Amino acid sequence: MRRVTINNSLQKARDTSRVYELLLFDDDKQTIVSESDNVTVKIGNRTGFLLDIEPGVTNGVITIDSAKFADLPADDYRLEIW
């Protein structure tokens, strides 16, 4: 089973001061992502796909600056890592 671990997963509406760090796991073993990997984060909610974000990758950790989705309304969102 694959899972994504996101620390500090709650965010206030319009909060642009966070950087999320995502670690990827496959059967409880961390999947290492390198800076040379082409990574895209797809964001959606109950209505469907909303946007793609190009994240940063540093030392095997995927980083997303919350300013990249600050214009989204308050809701529950799902992330897919491609």
Q: Say how many domains are in the chain.
A: 1
Residue 16 has pLDDT above 90, yes or no: no
Mean pLDDT of 56-61: 90
- What does R_g of the chain's alpha carbons equal in angstroms? 13
Residue span of the structural domain in which 60 resides = 2-81
Number of neighbouring beta carbons within 10 Å of residue 41: 20
pLDDT at 1: 46
Q: 42-65 burial, b for 16+ CB within 10 Å, e for fewer?
A: ebeeeeeeeeeeebebeeebbebe
Using a pLDDT cut of 90, give the percent of the chain over it: 27
Structure token pair of residue 10: 């709650």
Q: What is the pTM of this model?
A: 0.74
